[in-house]
């Protein structure tokens, strides 16, 4: 644990930051696996574009898990050690894909991103002007989650519009 590094944290309990980062850490792993498996099972029109996006987001979520785990360790905490803990600590849960259609898959993924945005925006508010290093990390992740939501929504709208235009020609 970094002594001087942690002595600069003021006005917020380090233990509280560690607890909340571990919850976000659980979310990242579940989001990673959700994107991974969605990219495998997704079906339907324009699925290649969806697979490209889902695969890229899976890699981003795994990178986020890395960033959060490293910060937990710097703060003197321990990242969750067992996948079973992901379910007991998660904020955003896990949406098991039941409908593999591309539009349904994208809708599930958008919900997940909206939850992630709320989680990181709360973490940013908690650490702003108090724990600068965590603040920077969660802000960077927050920007990625905002981009993820936008990418998925844009793709969702393109596919929905395309489906409607085909229906109009029938």
Is 71 a residue that touches Fe ion (CB under 5 A)?
Answer: no
64 contributes a contact to Fe ion by CB under 5 A = yes
Contact partner at residue 27 from Mg ion, Fe ion, none, CB < 5 to 8 Å by partner kind: none
Q: Which residues contact 146 (CB under 8 A, 6 or more apart)?
A: 117
Report in angstroms the alpha-carbon separations of 167 from 50, 79, 99: 21, 50, 21
Q: What 8-state DSSP symbol labels residue 101?
A: B
151 near Mg ion, judged by CB under 5 A: yes
8 or 52, CB closer to Fe ion? Answer: 52
By beta-carbon proximity to Mg ion, the closer residue of 39 and 77 is: 39
The neighbour count for residue 88, using CB atoms within 10 Å, is 10
- 151 contact choice in Fe ion, Mg ion, none (CB below 5 to 8 Å, kind-dependent): Mg ion
Output 45 or 51, the one with its CB closest to Fe ion: 51
Phi-psi group of 44: left, alpha or beta (phi > 0 → left; psi -120 to 50 → alpha; rest → beta): left
Stretch that binds Fe ion, among 6-14, 39-47, 56-64, 80-88 (CB under 5 A): 56-64
The residue number with the shortest CB distance to Mg ion is 151
Q: Is 23 in the site for Fe ion (CB under 5 A)?
A: no
Facing residues of 101 across strands? Answer: 43
61 binds Fe ion (CB under 5 A): yes
The CA distance from 144 to 148, in Å, is 6
- Contact residues toward Fe ion (CB under 5 A) are 28, 61, 64, 145, 148
């Amino acid at each position: 644990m970094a002594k001087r590094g942690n002595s600069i944290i003021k006005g917020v309990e380090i233990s509280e930051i560690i607890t909340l980062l571990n919850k976000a850490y659980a979310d990242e792993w579940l989001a990673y696996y959700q994107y991974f498996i969605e990219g495998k099972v997704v079906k339907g029109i324009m699925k290649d574009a969806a697979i490209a996006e889902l695969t890229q987001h899976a890699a981003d979520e795994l990178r986020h898990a890395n960033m959060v785990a490293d910060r937990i360790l710097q703060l003197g905490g321990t990242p969750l050690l067992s996948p079973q803990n992901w379910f007991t600590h998660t904020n955003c849960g896990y949406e098991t894909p039941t409908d593999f259609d591309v539009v349904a898959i994208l809708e599930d993924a958008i919900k997940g991103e909206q939850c992630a945005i709320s989680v990181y925006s709360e973490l940013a508010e908690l650490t702003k002007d108090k724990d600068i290093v965590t603040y920077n990390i969660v802000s960077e992740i927050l920007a990625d989650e905002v981009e993820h939501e936008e990418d998925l929504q844009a793709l969702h709208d393109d596919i929905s519009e395309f489906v409607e235009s085909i229906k109009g020609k029938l």
